[in-house]
Amino acid sequence: MKAEGFVKGRPAELAVLDYGLFKVHANGRVIGICGFAIRTDADETILIDTGFPEKYAIDTDAASKEDRLYEFGEVLECGPGNLPNAQLAKLGLSSDDITLHVCTHTHIDHVGGLDAFPNVPILISAKERTLPRPLYWGGVQPLEWPDRNYLQVEGDVAIGPGLTVLEASGHAPGQIALMVELPSGPVLLTSDAISRPAEIDEKFVGSWDETVAIASANRLMALAAEQGAFVIYGHCPEQWPKLRKAPEVYT
């Protein structure tokens, strides 16, 4: 199945999905966990990322202990209302409405519902899909690749009119970003290619490949400047409270 041209309509609206809050032990930073839903003028819905695994909404402490995530930080908020289906319901949508599931990379806070939409193709970087297992976090890798139709992308790919997947490796081997051309103007979703603006000055210390991450970020910011795009960062504490979240949308 080819990713190029898979989406038929143009983006009509973009919703930010609230998958919860996380506190990083090392610096005390509190970050929002986000996903996105894009609806097109051809009545398609693209879901981008799925947050933490459902077990975190059932028993956060038990899940954190099982995954040893407490070693890295604390899940401050992840309840049933922060799961993908609950967030989609705020938009009047259900899992049956999802046309395409985009996985920007396979860390724990983006890949929790990788197997949650059995009849929906998954778009993912070929570099990420060739990993033996999804990255999850640290040395903990409990997830298997679900049996799905995968649209594996390499480089930049126009998956539909006004919707481009951008290669942005560095944070993860197969990190991707997306440029979404809404009626009001372009929006760049950096995902964790740039979690927050200060990360650029910090040279992406601790990334999978810091040199590659720097190059990816520079390219993304140049594209954003060239196109006059509004940038939504992956985990920016200052930006997160200001973003419109479902049921509000960007149009």
What domains does the chain contain, in order, with CATH numbers? 11-242 (3.60.15.10)
Distance between CA 120 and CA 98 in Å, rounded?
7
Count the Cβ atoms, other than its own, within 10 Å of residue 237. 16
What pLDDT is attached to residue 164? 98
Banded model confidence at residue 92, pLDDT cuts 50, 70, 90: very high
What pLDDT is attached to residue 121? 98
Mean pLDDT, rounded, of the chain: 97
Banded model confidence at residue 245, pLDDT cuts 50, 70, 90: very high
Mean pLDDT, range 195-221, rounded to an integer: 97
Residue 1 has pLDDT above 80, yes or no: no
Give every CB contact of residue 201 below 8 A, 6+ residues apart in sequence.
Answer: none
- 22, 63, 138, 145, 150 from 66: Cα distances, Å: 17, 5, 13, 20, 29
Residue 66 has pLDDT above 80, yes or no: yes
Mean pLDDT, range 20-29, rounded to an integer: 96
Mean pLDDT, range 170-180, rounded to an integer: 98
What pLDDT is attached to residue 221? 98
How far does Cα 215 stand from its chain's mean position?
20
Residue 141 has pLDDT above 80, yes or no: yes
- pLDDT above 90 as % of the chain: 99
| Largest Cα–Cα separation, the chain | 46
Residue 42 has pLDDT above 90, yes or no: yes
Mean pLDDT, range 26-47, rounded to an integer: 97
Token pair in block for residue 107: 């860390």
Count helices and strands in the chain by DSSP H and E runs:
6, 12
What pLDDT is attached to residue 227? 97
What pLDDT is attached to residue 120? 97
